[in-house]
Amino acid sequence: MSAVTTDRSHAGTVENPIDATGGAMLDDMTDAAAPASRAEGRRSDDERTSVPRMILTGFSWAILALVALLAIVVVVVPFVTGSKPYTVLTGSMAPQYPPGTLVVVKPAGIDEINLRDVITYQLESGRPEVVTHRVVAVGAAADGEPLLITRGDANDADDPDPVREVQIVGKLWYSVPYIGWINNVVTGEARAWAIPILVAGLFVYGLVAIAMGFRDRRRAKAALARGTRRDAGTEGDADTEGDAGDAGDAVTRDDA
């Protein structure tokens, strides 16, 4: 009977260390998983933060590109080519050129103008008032001087007076919808100081956007490095605790 009791005691002694070891293994797995979980959480937070920032940066660059393109189309190209920008004020050329359309007119002689071309001409030679209409016919005066018959696309009748060569400002080169209203505001002396300010503002904005992008990338890299070092330290602590637990189990087994 006593031999049976001794066997049961030894069996209990063998089972207890196995349970303790299993518990230590579970603790080690939990400690190892915790830093990874925290790192994953930080990455998720960074991703949630970076998405709005990326959208804002993309939107800013799109606005910058649009403004730069408009400045080139409205100011730079006419200046370089000697063309003139005008704003359509009435609906006589609708629907293709409604009021507010910016039309850029390139100088052209009467021999360069063909039927159906859109031209800008002075109502009276030497006067500032101009009209932009389409050429619908070509004629000649009694002395052989060439004349152009014009009409607005939305009008039912030709313009009352034919256009002589001295009245011609030029032929339509290209047009930009709605931008003409801005061109009306920024004219004359205002354009002389507005253009340099606009160019300088775009340049400064571009530099600021680039600097902010570099700064954000540096911060992200620094935060990632700090998180990596912190995770490595936490894993080292977990390994130390696991080793101490294993040593304790060994001593317990030896004492048993």
pLDDT score recorded for residue 110? 93
Residues 16-22, mean pLDDT to the nearest whole number: 47
How much is the pLDDT for 7? Answer: 46
Q: Answer whether residue 2 shows pLDDT above 70.
A: no
pLDDT of residue 108: 94
Please give the pLDDT value at position 13. 45
For 195-228, write each residue's pLDDT tens digit: 667 667 767 777 777 777 777 778 777 877 776 6
Lowest-confidence segment of 91-105, 116-130, 186-200 by average pLDDT: 186-200
Counting residues of the chain whose pLDDT is more than 90, the rounded percentage is 36
Helix (H, G, I), strand (E, B), or coil: what is residue 236? helix
**Amino acid 55: pLDDT:** 79
pLDDT reported for residue 27:
52
Residues constituting the chain: 256
Residue 17 has pLDDT above 50, yes or no: no
- Pair 130, 121: CB distance under 8 Å: yes
Residue 184 has pLDDT above 90, yes or no: no
Sequence-distant (6+) residues with CB within 8 A of 50 are 220
| Cα dist from 96 to 76, 91, 163, 181, whole Å | 24, 10, 22, 17
Give the C-alpha separation, 24 to 22, whole Å.
Answer: 5
Q: Model confidence at 254, in pLDDT bands (50, 70, 90)?
A: very low
Q: At what angle do helices 189-255 and 2-71 cross, to 10 degrees?
A: 170
Q: Is the pLDDT of residue 91 over 70?
A: yes
Q: Is the pLDDT of residue 14 over 70?
A: no
- Average pLDDT, integer, range 112-138: 95
- Identify residue 110 by its one-letter amino acid code: I
pLDDT at 252: 43
pLDDT average, residue stretch 241-255: 47
The two three-digit tokens of residue 138, written as one number: 């070509």
**What pLDDT is attached to residue 251?**
43
The per-residue pLDDT for range 150-169, each reduced to its tens digit, is 999 999 999 999 999 999 99
Q: Is the pLDDT at 19 greater than 70, yes or no?
A: no
What is the reported pLDDT for 121? 97
Those residues whose C-beta lies under 8 Å from the C-beta of residue 13, and which sit 6 or more positions away, are 256
pLDDT of residue 117: 97
pTM: predicted TM-score of the whole model, two decimal places = 0.57
The highest-confidence range among 11-15, 25-29, 224-228, by mean pLDDT, is 224-228
